[in-house]
Amino acid sequence: MEKAKQLLQLSQAESESVFRLAVNPHEFQVGPSFFEDFALRGIRVDRVEPDMIFCTFVVPPRLIDRAGNLAVGAISNLIDIVGNALIYRVQQPMNVSVNMSISYLSNAKLGDELEVTSRLLGRTGSVSGTAVIIKNKASGDIVAEGRHSLFSRFESKI
């Protein structure tokens, strides 16, 4: 328990960096939120096909854990956002995650270039399923694979 507490304890510099963050909440948001900008800054959409999205993401210093690996929370966020992008509709209510299952298979380090591929598994009424694979471009190793179920207010005609 003590070791866990030590790992979770913030250094003085880390604590001060959090206090320096300036987050300006707005009632009507235009553009990405602070969280989206922090987590997704630098992601590049390489190709979009029907029911598929291909992206590239280089692991930045802000998303690594103390061991120097891409943090598992950042991985789950990539799976959530890129999976959601497949079924997002402009001027429609936000989709809601119903279920997400992630297998963490290998590590990604600072500066690694990752390939993030999302594909639609199917739709039934207001529920859609997506699969997202995050792969290290240099080694070909799969970093994580996720399956994501989402609820939308609009019903698919498929």
Note the pLDDT of residue 27: 44
Confidence band (pLDDT; 50, 70, 90) for 13?
confident
CA dist 105 and 144 (Å) reads: 5
Q: What is the DSSP letter of 6?
A: H
CA dist 129 and 56 (Å) reads: 22
Note the pLDDT of residue 111: 94
144 within 8 A of 102, measured Cβ to Cβ: yes
pTM score, whole prediction? 0.73
Q: Which of 153, 111, 112, 157 is nearest to 134 (CA)?
A: 112
Q: Which domains does the chain have, with CATH numbers?
A: 46-158 (3.10.129.10)
Note the pLDDT of residue 26: 46
Note the pLDDT of residue 75: 94
Indicate whether 136 pLDDT > 90: yes
Tokens for 36, please give them: 């989206």
Give the three-state DSSP class for 50. Answer: coil
| Residue 39, phi then psi, degrees to nearest 5 | -80, -30
Note the pLDDT of residue 140: 96
Note the pLDDT of residue 118: 94
Indicate whether 143 pLDDT > 80: yes
The separation between the first and the last C-alpha atoms of the chain, rounded to the nearest angstrom, is 51
Query: Over the stretch 24-81, which tens digit does the pLDDT of each residue have?
Result: 544 445 555 666 666 677 888 999 888 899 999 999 998 999 999 999 999 998 998 8
Query: Over the stretch 92-113, which tens digit does the pLDDT of each residue have?
Result: 656 677 889 999 999 999 999 9
Note the pLDDT of residue 32: 58
Query: Which contiguous run of DSSP H or E holds residue 14?
Result: helix 12-19
What are the helix (H) ranges across 48-135?
Answer: 72-85
85 within 8 A of 132, measured Cβ to Cβ: no
Give the three-state DSSP class for 115. Answer: strand
